[in-house]
Amino acid sequence: MRKMAILLALVAVVGLVTAGAFAAKAGGGKGTPKADILKGKVVEVKKDAAGKITTVVVEGKKPGAKTPEKIDVTVDDKTKVTVDGKDATLADLKADMTVEVTPSTGTATEIKAKTAAAPAHGKGTAAPAPGTGGGGVE
């Protein structure tokens, strides 16, 4: 009788451990692991013959890669797109936007894009020198 109780306890422990592992693999964990995100810049947005966007070419590093490369990211109608944190569409993606694509392989389920930062005020534009115009009296 004692052996049976020990055996049942052992089976219960193994069952709980295995169930936890299956739940984590089936999406029981929170969010996408950071290791499964492709980070880079949009190089090109490709359309099919009907004009539907099917691929976004990203120059970036796949998780674990040492050097950046051009990667064709497959997209579809279910791909969620945000630009600067706001809901957007695939058509809003433009070259030179920085992106985070989830997952890093297969069809993208989410693309988070950021536009290039606008230059700060006053940079690149010099004020006119005093006395060089402005219609003053001579």
- Measured distance CA(108)–CA(45) in Å, rounded: 14
Torsions phi, psi for 104 (to 5 deg): -75, -15
Task: Output the pTM of the full model.
Answer: 0.61
User: In Å, how far are 63, 118, 124 from 121, measured between CA atoms?
Assistant: 37, 9, 9
Q: Where are the domains of the chain?
A: 34-114
Q: What is the pLDDT of residues 56-94, one digit of tens each?
A: 999 998 778 888 899 999 999 999 999 999 999 999 999
Torsion of CA 83, 85, 89, 90, to 10 degrees: 50
Low-confidence ranges of the chain (pLDDT < 50): 19-29, 32, 138
Written out in words, the top-level CATH class of the domain with range 34-114 is mainly beta
